[in-house]
Structure formats: structure tokens, C-alpha cells
């Protein structure tokens, strides 16, 4: 049974949503767990096994296939506890217990179950009992979805230093861990196509339809535009694998890593999905069924469509409702605001206070990621403090224990991480020898150990110390976070999403479309200002295409605000003014690149 809610909580870092299912799945809310750090999952399994009095056997690194086994064990634990929570809620008394009432109070007012709940509240005693039994029957847990960042796929080695077969790489073993688990949910593939990983999903029966045409486990693709969705969707379809959801994420107005498009904005992107949804579904479904039939497997039903959802920078119910209704979406994702909801995510107290005290300028796009992809960061985080202190002590870089991001072979045949002390020491030597300039060195020294920094808050928030006492936290909120201040209850945030109440946000917060456009204009300006030895024709063409896409996006929004009621009259006029200003800013940028 699908989740009764129209929003989900996306993955945030390695640790911020690692135990979110234990907090919110009992209310029917789905969330996404990162399964990239098996060390963290093993630590969290130990913590929650003790808390819920479940037998725990440590899976050490000498155990065969330990990474996949740890992931399976942790996900099984989550599902076991969530199932117990759901059973407990079903057996609660509507007159005396909060849990069962909160389950239905959190639903959107238009949902049939919420309306049935309201009818129960005002029914006669005889009818009330009947309504209550009906309500108990429809209580469903939120999904335990998992995230695999496709680019984080290091080849692993055995104790003797020999490379293990491909299926033991980080991403493939993570997929195996999920596929072999009891978790009811989907795998979210983010950061683009990984042919080996996508093909490996073909090995697991839970991703294929049963006699009723339903897949026990789903595949969700996080994408930035329609073309990416089509290419990745067809790749999987040719394996007989159905994409159950395309999760569209803003290229820049999101948390974590920021994968900018070539100036394509979310409004036109969602319009393209809306226009092509039927065609996309038919192409992928037919391709899947052709392969499934050839394999002698059950096929997908003809009325099956992938869900289309959007996440990135949504701030209030008006924006949420417009996106859902106008673009005919099946749901939305709300991430960064939930970092301020202790009932839903794991943020240690120190980091929570730093978020509350942060200025808008403290939220910025950084070079912190060893992947070389822009990374949303907080200037005042304890992780940033630690990074700067190490530089001041002439000991830049981090000790590298987990080695998930060891990709650089610049200095050795064995890959190392660009945030590691080893790599940064070697880069510093190059700088002292005059082989690299200060700009390149600065970008290297900005790299931070995300493996430790993004996992630490999960342990700190449950009163545990991370291994080796590495407790500095790196946090990756999206730009939208700057406009939310305060600590909120789960009910307050969910009611805000559904428009039952309105949280007090910073009055200067721009509309989600305008904010993303502002970010893209800033991004283009930085691209133009890059210090390149020579401006190649290819780079000039890239800037031209980027600029043209932004101009097209501005025109799209200008037409949209004239045709559709996005907000109040004052808000629409403000949008028109902002669009005009941004369009003029774009025009003024043209001479700088010689067009």
C-alpha cells in the first residue's frame, strides 16, 4: 500500500536521515537512508539493537561480503522496528493515545483517510466503533527508501591487497545489501548513470514484477532534466527494469552536491515532463515488457506510469500546491527544513544551534567535496572550523580512514582522496615549488572529509561518540535553509507543507522559481569569471547555450505569471519585477564573454 502522504524526506548527508524511518515511518511518511557508509550503519545497528533489546552480532571487516551484510542487517533492523511501531499504533485507543490520532491528524485535509477520521470524531458511539476499525485497517508505514550515489563506486581489495570482483565495489555491494534485505521501499540512484551498477540490478528478482505486475522493490532515479531521465530510464528498461519514480531535483536550489544543468530551469523542466509523461511511460513500459516476455517473466500492466516528483527549495504550501497541481506531480520532496525538526532527522545539538544562528551568507556553494562537484555548505559548521584549524597548524587535510572518496591517481597508482592529509601535503609541496598557483591550492585546501563529517551527527545525536572521536560535523543544507529559523515539531512542519498553518519564514524569501533563477545567474557569472589559459570555442559555446537557456527560462516564467495565479497579486508583481531585473542582469553579462 503506498504512503498516504504527498511528500517525502530526501536523503541528507550520510547521517542526517540514517534513522529517520524509526522516527516518521510509523506516521506513513517515507524517507531516504544513505547506505554508502557501512561503518555508520553498523554503529547505528548496535545503538538501536541495544535500545530496542534486539540481539546484536557485530559484523567485522574480516567477514566475507561484510559491507553488503552490514547494510542488509541494518535495513532489516529498521523494518523490524517500524513493523512493531505500526502494529502498536494499530492497537492504540483513539480516546487515550496520541500516536494513532497523530497518524491521521498529519494527513492532508483532502485525503479520504483524514476525512474518515474527522467523521469518526463527530460520530455517534455506535458508528464511531465502525469508523475506528476502518481507520485501523488503512494504517500503513512510510517506505524505507535508500540512496546510492552512483559516482561513489570504489573498487575494493581483499586482505592481501588483490582487487575484488566488480560486484564487491562500493555501489554494487550497497545495492546487493538493499536487494537482500527485508526493507520495503525503493533504491534511489543519484548522480547519473553507472552502467555496471544499473546492469547489476538485473541480478535481483525483487526489482522485477510478480504475477500482479508489482515489483517488491522499486527503482527511483534522481534526475536534473528530462533528457537524463529518458536516457537512464531506457538503459534500465532494456534490462527489463522499471523506473517506478523520476525524482526531479533542482540543479542548484538543493542540499548536498549541486549538479547544475546548462541553465535549464525547473519550470521548463517540469513542463517537459508534464507534456511527455504519457509518451515516456509507453516507451519505457513497452521496452521493459519486451525484455520481460523474452525472459519468460511476468510483465508490467498497461496502465502503469512512473511517479513524477520534484524536490529542491520549496518553502510553503502555496508553492507546493502549485507544483503539484499545475505540473500534475505525484509528490514533492522536502529536505533542508526538516533539519530543524528533531522528531524527523538526526542533528546534534551543537550543529542545530549553529544552523539557528547562521546568517544567510553562511550558506554557500563550496569546493568541499572530493568528488569535484560543488557542495552546499555552512561556513560556521564545526567541520569547517576543524578544516581551517588544521590549515593554520600547517597540517591541512584529514586522516583518511573510510576511503569512500579515494579517486585521485595524480600522485600514485593507488587512488587517494583529495581531502586527505596525504594528498594536500603533496599539493602544498607543488605550490612551494611553483608548480601550481594559489587559486588551485585554495580549491584543494577547501576539500573536507565528508565521510566523517556527514556521518558524525547521527551518532552524536543519540549520545554516542564517533569512532576515533572524529566528531566535527559537516552539514549540507540547501539555500532554502537560510529562510527557516526555529526548531519545529513534526506536526508543525507537516501542517506547514499542507497549508494547515503557516510557519514564519524570512519575509525576504523569494519564490522557489525566482531563487533558483538567481542561483543560476550567479553560477553563470562565476563561470564567465573563471581564469582560463585560453577561451576555447567549446567553452564559449557552453556559455552561449547556458545564457540562451536562462533567457528562455525567464521568458517561460514571464508568460507563466501572466497566465496562471501563482500567488497573491503583490507576490506576482514582485516576481515580475524580479524577473525583469534578472533579465537585465543577464543582458549586461553578455559583453563580458565577447558575444
Residue 591: pLDDT above 50? Answer: no
Bridge partners (DSSP) listed for residue 378:
363
Contact 332, 314 (CB under 8 A): yes
Segment 363-389 mean pLDDT: 97
pLDDT tens per residue across span 230-243: 999 999 999 999 99
Residue 594: pLDDT above 90? Answer: no
pLDDT classification of 1: cutoffs 50, 70, 90? low
pLDDT at 168: 98
Residue 42: pLDDT above 90? Answer: yes
pLDDT tens per residue across span 427-470: 999 999 999 999 999 999 999 999 999 999 999 999 999 999 99
pLDDT at 116: 97
Residue 186: pLDDT above 80? Answer: yes
pLDDT at 304: 95
pLDDT classification of 569: cutoffs 50, 70, 90? confident
* Centroid of chain to Cα 134: 34
pLDDT at 2: 78
pLDDT at 13: 97
Residue 220: pLDDT above 50? Answer: yes
Specify the pTM.
Answer: 0.97
CA distance 478 to 463: 26
Residue % of the chain over a pLDDT of 70:
98
Residue 593: pLDDT above 70? Answer: no
Residue 495: pLDDT above 50? Answer: yes
Segment 543-559 mean pLDDT: 97
Bridge partners (DSSP) listed for residue 32:
145
CA distance 40 to 304: 37
Residue 92: pLDDT above 60? Answer: yes
Residue 52: pLDDT above 50? Answer: yes
pLDDT at 175: 98
pLDDT at 532: 62
Q: Which of 265, 257, 366 is CA-nearest to residue 310?
A: 265
pLDDT at 550: 98
pLDDT classification of 209: cutoffs 50, 70, 90? very high
CA distance 595 to 588: 11
pLDDT at 214: 96
pLDDT at 263: 97
pLDDT at 376: 97
Residue 535: pLDDT above 80? Answer: no
Segment 565-576 mean pLDDT: 84
Segment 293-313 mean pLDDT: 97
* 351 grid coordinates: 550543529
Contact 7, 320 (CB under 8 A): yes
pLDDT at 531: 59
Segment 218-236 mean pLDDT: 98
pLDDT tens per residue across span 398-414: 999 999 999 999 999 99
Strands 30-34 and 7-9: parallel
Contact 106, 98 (CB under 8 A): no
pLDDT classification of 251: cutoffs 50, 70, 90? very high
Contact 407, 417 (CB under 8 A): yes
pLDDT tens per residue across span 500-523: 999 999 999 999 999 999 999 999
What mean pLDDT, rounded, does the chain reach? Answer: 96
Residue 568: pLDDT above 90? Answer: no
CA distance 322 to 329: 10
pLDDT tens per residue across span 149-185: 999 999 999 988 899 999 999 999 999 999 999 999 9
Contact 148, 37 (CB under 8 A): no
Residue % of the chain over a pLDDT of 90:
94
pLDDT at 346: 98
pLDDT at 592: 47
pLDDT tens per residue across span 305-347: 999 999 999 999 999 999 999 999 999 999 999 999 999 999 9
Residue 590: pLDDT above 60? Answer: no
pLDDT at 540: 87
pLDDT at 33: 98
SS3 content of the chain, % helix, strand, coil (to 5): 50, 10, 40
Helices (H), 91-181: 98-105, 112-121, 125-138, 170-179
pLDDT at 159: 86
CA distance 217 to 219: 7
pLDDT tens per residue across span 519-530: 999 999 999 888
Amino acid at each position: 500500500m503506498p504512503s498516504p502522504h504527498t511528500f517525502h524526506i530526501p536523503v541528507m548527508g550520510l547521517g542526517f536521515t540514517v534513522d529517520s524511518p524509526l522516527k516518521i515511518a510509523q506516521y506513513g511518511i517515507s524517507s531516504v537512508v544513505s547506505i554508502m557508509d557501512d561503518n555508520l550503519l553498523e554503529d547505528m545497528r548496535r545503538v538501536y539493537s541495544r535500545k530496542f533489546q534486539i540481539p546484536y552480532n557485530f559484523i567485522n571487516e574480516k567477514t566475507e561480503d561484510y559491507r553488503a551484510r552490514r547494510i542488509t542487517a541494518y535495513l532489516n533492523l529498521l523494518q523490524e522496528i517500524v513493523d512493531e511501531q505500526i502494529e502498536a499504533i494499530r492497537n492504540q485507543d483513539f480516546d487515550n493515545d496520541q500516536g494513532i490520532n497523530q497518524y491521521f491528524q498529519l494527513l492532508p485535509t483532502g485525503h479520504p483517510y483524514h476525512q474518515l477520521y474527522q467523521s469518526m470524531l463527530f460520530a455517534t458511539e455506535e458508528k464511531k466503533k465502525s469508523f475506528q476499525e476502518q481507520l485501523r485497517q488503512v494504517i500503513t508505514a512510510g517506505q524505507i527508501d535508500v540512496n546510492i550515489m552512483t559516482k561513489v563506486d570504489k573498487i575494493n581489495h581483499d586482505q592481501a591487497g588483490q582487487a575484488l570482483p566488480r560486484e564487491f565495489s562500493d555501489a554494487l555491494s550497497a545495492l546487493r545489501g538493499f536487494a537482500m534485505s527485508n526493507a520495503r521501499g525503493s533504491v534511489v540512484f543519484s548522480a547519473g548513470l553507472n552502467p555496471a551498477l544499473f546492469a547489476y540490478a538485473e541480478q535481483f528478482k525483487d526489482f522485477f514484477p510478480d504475477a500482479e505486475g508489482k515489483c517488491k522493490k522499486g527503482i527511483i532515479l534522481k534526475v536534473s532534466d528530462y533528457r537524463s531521465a529518458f536516457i537512464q530510464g531506457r538503459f534500465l528498461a532494456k534490462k527489463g527494469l522499471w523506473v517506478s519514480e523520476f525524482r526531479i531535483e533542482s540543479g542548484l536550489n538543493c542540499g548536498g552536491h549541486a549538479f547544475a544543468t546548462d541553465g535549464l530551469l525547473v519550470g521548463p523542466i517540469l513542463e517537459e515532463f508534464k507534456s511527455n509523461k504519457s509518451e515516456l511511460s509507453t516507451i519505457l513500459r513497452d521496452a521493459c515488457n519486451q525484455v520481460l516476455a523474452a525472459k519468460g517473466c511476468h510483465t508490467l500492466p498497461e496502465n502503469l506510469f512512473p511517479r513524477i516528483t520534484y524536490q529542491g527549495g520549496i518553502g510553503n504550501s502555496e508553492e507546493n500546491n502549485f507544483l503539484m497541481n499545475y505540473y500534475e506531480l505525484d509528490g514533492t520532496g522536502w529536505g533542508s527544513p526538516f533539519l530543524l525538526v528533531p522528531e524527523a532527522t538526526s542533528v546534534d545539538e551543537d550543529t542545530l544551534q549553529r544552523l539557528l544562528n547562521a546568517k544567510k551568507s553562511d550558506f554557500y556553494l563550496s569546493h568541499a567535496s572530493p568528488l569535484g562537484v560543488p557542495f552546499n555548505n555552512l561556513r560556521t559548521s564545526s567541520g569547517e572550523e576543524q578544516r581551517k584549524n588544521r590549515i593554520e597548524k600547517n597540517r591541512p587535510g584529514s586522516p583518511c580512514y573510510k576511503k569512500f572518496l579515494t579517486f585521485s591517481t595524480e600522485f600514485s597508482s593507488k587512488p587517494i582522496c583529495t581531502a586527505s592529509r596525504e594528498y594536500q601535503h603533496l599539493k602544498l609541496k607543488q605550490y612551494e615549488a611553483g608548480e601550481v598557483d594559489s587559486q588551485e591550492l585554495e580549491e584543494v585546501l577547501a576539500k573536507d572529509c565528508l565521510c566523517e563529517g556527514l556521518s558524525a551527527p547521527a551518532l552524536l545525536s543519540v549520545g554516542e561518540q564517533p569512532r576515533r572521536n572524529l566528531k566535527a560535523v559537516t552539514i549540507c543544507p540547501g539555500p532554502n535553509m537560510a529562510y527557516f529559523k526555529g526548531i519545529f515539531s513534526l506536526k508543525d512542519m507537516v501542517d506547514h507543507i499542507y497549508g494547515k498553518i503557516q510557519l514564519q519564514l524570512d519575509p525576504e524569501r523569494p519564490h522557489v522559481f525566482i531563487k533558483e533563477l538567481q542561483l543560476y545567474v550567479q553560477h553563470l557569472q562565476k563561470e564567465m569569471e573563471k581564469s582560463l589559459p585560453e577561451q576555447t570555442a567549446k567553452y564559449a559555446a557552453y556559455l552561449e547555450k547556458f545564457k540562451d537557456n536562462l533567457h528562455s527560462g525567464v521568458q517561460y516564467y514571464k508568460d507563466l505569471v501572466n497566465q496562471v495565479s501563482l500567488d497573491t497579486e503583490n507576490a506576482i508583481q514582485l516576481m515580475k519585477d524580479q524577473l525583469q531585473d534578472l533579465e537585465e542582469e543577464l543582458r549586461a553579462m553578455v559583453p563580458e564573454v565577447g558575444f
